Chain A
Amino acid sequence: DAGVIQSPRHEVTEMGQEVTLRCKPISGHNSLFWYRQTMMRGLELLIYFNNNVPIDDSGMPEDRFSAKMPNASFSTLKIQPSEPRDSAVYFCASSLSESYGYTFGSGTRLTVV
């Protein structure tokens, strides 16, 4: 298995532009998580999907952030419009269930200038 696949690895965009981050979870995993990591705040859970349904999006910073999981093999995290304070590394993770260990992707490093 190739693990959790995220794209792009790096993204540089201008303030105000729309950014879309993509994630392909491990086949058979039914839980998917989006995390954000910054030096100041560490790793933060943004949203959790179970069986493609958003269960908890309380970590999504504001309405500029949205996430979708149209099927079991694909999820997106969108920021519109992007702001410099959104600069961070965004990780996607998947798991067989909440109580199993999570497998994280390699992350997308987002820089908003």
Chain B
Amino acid sequence: DAKTTQPPSMDCAEGRAANLPCNHSTISGNEYVYWYRQIHSQGPQYIIHGLKNNETNEMASLIITEDRKSSTLILPHATLRDTAVYYCIVTSGTYKYIFGTGTRLKVLA
């Protein structure tokens, strides 16, 4: 599975959009982009995934560039409860996720 690169930390003001980038320049054609988050001391929580089209659900939007080498997770109106570590994972759909170190998002009041 392709390697991902994420910034180690980000801050976002409460009520503003949080845009979390992920670089996956070695992604191959059959690999999906998954996003999970882990709120302190809880298990990781699935957020969204996509292949090449942009995706939206009740939690977030996922924007994948046309060349698929990077993506952005967007939390449209961040709240304090969105403070967490966010993991970007690229996988061909097999079970072997590599979680990496993620981005620690801090939402500020």
Which residues of A are at the interface with B, using a C-beta cutoff of 8 A? Answer: 4, 31, 33, 42-43, 45, 48, 55-56, 91, 93, 98-99, 101-107
The segment from B64-72, B75-83, B89-97 that touches chain A is: B89-97
Q: Shortest distance in angstroms between B101's beta carbon and chain A's nearest beta carbon?
A: 6
Residue numbers in B under 8 Å from A56 (CB-CB): 95-96
Contact A104 B45 (CB under 8 A): yes
Contact A99 B44 (CB under 8 A): no
Contact B44 A91 (CB under 8 A): yes
Q: Using C-beta atoms within 8 Å of the partner chain, give the interface range for chain B.
A: 10 to 19
C-alpha gap A106/B44 in the complex (Å): 9
Q: Shortest distance in angstroms between B6's beta carbon and chain A's nearest beta carbon?
A: 13
Contact B43 A105 (CB under 8 A): yes
Residue numbers in A under 8 Å from B46 (CB-CB): 101-103
Residue numbers in B under 8 Å from A4 (CB-CB): 43
When A101-B34, A101-B49 are in contact, do A48 and B43 touch as well, CB less than 8 Å?
no
When A42-B99, A42-B100, A42-B101 are in contact, do A104 and B43 touch as well, CB less than 8 Å?
yes
> In this complex, what residue of B is CB-closest to A50?
B95
Contact B44 A104 (CB under 8 A): yes
Contact A45 B95 (CB under 8 A): yes
When A and B form their complex, which 5 residue pairs have the shortest distance between CB atoms, in order from nearest?
A104-B43, A101-B46, A99-B93, A43-B99, A48-B95
Q: Which of B32, B41, B44, B95 has the most CB of A within 10 A?
A: B95
C-alpha gap A42/B99 in the complex (Å): 8
Q: Shortest distance in angstroms between B38's beta carbon and chain A's nearest beta carbon?
A: 8
Q: Shortest distance in angstroms between B47's beta carbon and chain A's nearest beta carbon?
A: 8
Contact A98 B94 (CB under 8 A): yes
22 contacts between A and B (CB under 8 A): A4-B43, A31-B95, A42-B100, A45-B97, A55-B95, A56-B96, A91-B44, A93-B44, A98-B93, A98-B95, A99-B32, A99-B93, A101-B49, A102-B46, A102-B97, A104-B42, A104-B43, A104-B44, A105-B43, A106-B43, A107-B41, A107-B43
Given contacts A45-B97, A99-B32, 5 further A-B contacts (CB under 8 A): A31-B95, A43-B44, A45-B95, A56-B96, A98-B93
